[in-house]
Amino acid sequence: MKFFDRWKAIITDPMNNFTKLPKKNVIKESCIYFLKIQAIAMALMYVFMLLLLPLRLLPMVIGEQFLSVIAGIGMILLIPLALIFYVIILLFSLGMLFVSAGLIQIFIKMFGGKKGYATTFQALAYASSPYVLMFIPMVNWLATLYGLVLQVIGIHKLQKISVGKSILAFILPGVIIAILLFILVGVGILMVVF
């Protein structure tokens, strides 16, 4: 299946199409798909920023405040810096996907998941499909929310566990990390105070 067709299938009918994902070279195919999604999302964001750049510079032309000049210069400098870090950001996103899949896989096994790490990785990679819409203001939070829903659906369908267990496997790593960070910050504050 071609990239756009797979993207459309995951977005429009995830309950049926998660089970139709590639069964061979799962990690490789998932990485390629995820990197394409991230690359498209970032490229669209850069194009959107470039389209907004003239609007940011307009107050400078009209002669508005000094802050407008700083904002315009900031936008001009931001785009080349973003382009320089494009590949680094893509690789970092992929690395975080590997880590997230590992953390979630621990809980999937605890809840009786039938498949291994590669399947969890695949579910999370393909659940990133809505992120190509992240560049659109007011739609970006809906895209994020739908991506989270797709992660739960993907885990449910591919790991063959209930939706409730999928939600728990997805949420518990974040809760545990938040608790550990809270404890570390608390201990740090106590060490500084006492």
Q: Which tokens hold the place of 176?
A: 């545990």
Of 140 and 129, the one with more pLDDT: 129
Using 50, 70 and 90 to split pLDDT, how confident is the model at 78? low
Determine how many CB atoms are found less than 10 A away from the CB of residue 171.
14
Three-state DSSP class for residue 124: helix
| pLDDT of 193 | 82
Q: Which domain holds residue 14?
A: 3-193
Tell me, what's the pLDDT at 29? 94
Higher pLDDT, 129 or 85: 129
Predicted TM-score (pTM) of the model is: 0.78
Q: How confident is the model at residue 87 (pLDDT cuts 50, 70, 90)?
A: confident
Confidence label for 56 from pLDDT (cuts 50, 70 and 90): low
Between 34-48, 77-91, 143-157, the lowest mean confidence (pLDDT) is in 77-91
Q: Does residue 144 register a pLDDT over 80?
A: yes
- Cα pseudo-dihedral 97, 185, 170, 125, rounded to 10: -10
Q: Chain-wide mean pLDDT for the chain?
A: 85
Q: What is the average per-residue pLDDT within 38-44? A: 89
Instruction: Report the pLDDT averaged over residues 97-111.
Output: 94
C-beta separation of 126 from 5 below 8 A: no
Q: Is the pLDDT of residue 49 over 60?
A: yes
Structural domain count of the chain: 1
**Burial of 49 (C-beta count, 10 Å sphere; 0-12/13-18/19+):** middle
Answer yes or no: is pLDDT of 72 > 70: no
The H or E element spanning position 151 is helix 140-159
Alpha carbons 41 and 129: distance in angstroms, whole number:
10
Q: Which pLDDT score is estimated for 115?
A: 92
pLDDT interval class at 70 (50, 70, 90): low
